[in-house]
Amino acid sequence: MYEDMQAYHALYNLFFNNLHRFCFSFVKSSEAAEEIVSDVFIKLWQIRNKLSEIENLKVYLYQIAKNFCLNYITRHFKNPVASLDEMDLETMISLDNPEELCISADIVNTIQQTIKQLPPQCRLIFQMVKEDGMAYREVADVLQISVLTVRNQVAIATRKVAEALPAYVRNQKPEAGSQKLKIKNRKSDL
């Protein structure tokens, strides 16, 4: 039982921030998102004996979270369908190693604005792939769309971000072993 509890806490710590951000994109309330994520982990604890039957735990957690979000929206807003086009995901750029990468506040702002202007479904897919590190198949399973759609949306988002960058930044070749920009959501840094 003690090992189960330790594993549960490790999973909670590993997935909480990303699931919170994912839920927030649906419900637009940090408190509600936190409550939903807690419910997801309560559900996980309740079925802990059946976890070996789950093929991909990450996709399973996101699927539960999505369903709980839709239930929340239905209960609280009497609206049975949540449109991805109505979601607003605020994102920011966080540099892991600012000594190695010098980027001006204007460029960061440009990237932020470009990501914010992406269509909501494109932003959500981009966030799940680039920020949460999910595979295309995992994102497709959670959102119930095709892998091809995920790939196309990531390509569109990446192209738009690249086009928004000044030419001198776009034309720089990364040095071997250099850090790539990692896109992070503010909520993940809490």
For 117-156, write each residue's pLDDT tens digit.
Answer: 999 899 889 888 887 888 999 999 999 999 999 999 999 9
**Structure confidence by residue, pLDDT tens digits, 76-105:** 776 444 343 444 434 334 445 454 345 556
Q: In the predicted model, is pLDDT for residue 176 greater than 60?
A: no
56: helix, strand or coil: coil
pLDDT of residue 100: 37
Nearest to 139 by CA among 153, 148, 150: 150
Where do the domains of the chain lie?
2-82, 85-189
Q: In the predicted model, is pLDDT for residue 36 greater than 90?
A: yes
Class of domain 2-82 as given by CATH? mainly alpha
pTM: 0.53
pLDDT of residue 132: 84
The phi and psi torsions of 93 (rounded to 5 degrees) equal: -100, 135
Q: In the predicted model, is pLDDT for residue 113 greater than 50?
A: yes
Find the DSSP H helices in the chain.
2-27, 30-46, 57-77, 105-117, 120-126, 136-143, 147-164, 167-170
Please tell me if the domain spanning 2-82 has the same topology as the one spanning 85-189.
Answer: no
Spatial separation of the C-alpha atoms in residues 86 and 132, rounded to whole Å: 21
State the architecture of 85-189 in CATH terms: Orthogonal Bundle (1.10)
pLDDT of residue 33: 92
